[in-house]
Amino acid sequence: MVFFHLEKDCSISKPNIPEKSESFAKGPEKIFGAGALVLEKHIIKSLYSRLRLKYDERKDYAFEDYVKQAKQEKDKLEP
């Protein structure tokens, strides 16, 4: 359901999420309101786990900051 609404309301398809992390972060907020923070945290933890990266919660980080950091760390690990 989340992906359906993201594509319909925010024009974000599942494969586009990494390139549109800022827009993606606004999508769940539109759908779930304040509850979106819980969903975002779960998504970030899942992303870091799948990439085999260590997740450290940071108060000064927004969703897109975590995505950018994960991409940078993953790029460092790949030759």
Does residue 67 sit in helix, strand or coil?
Answer: helix
Phi-psi region of 55 (alpha: psi -120 to 50; beta: other; left: phi over 0): beta
CA 46 to chain centroid: 9
* pLDDT (average), residues 52-72: 91
- pLDDT tens for 37-48 read 888 899 899 999
Give the mean model confidence (pLDDT) for residues 65-75.
90
The residues spanned by each domain of the chain are 2-77
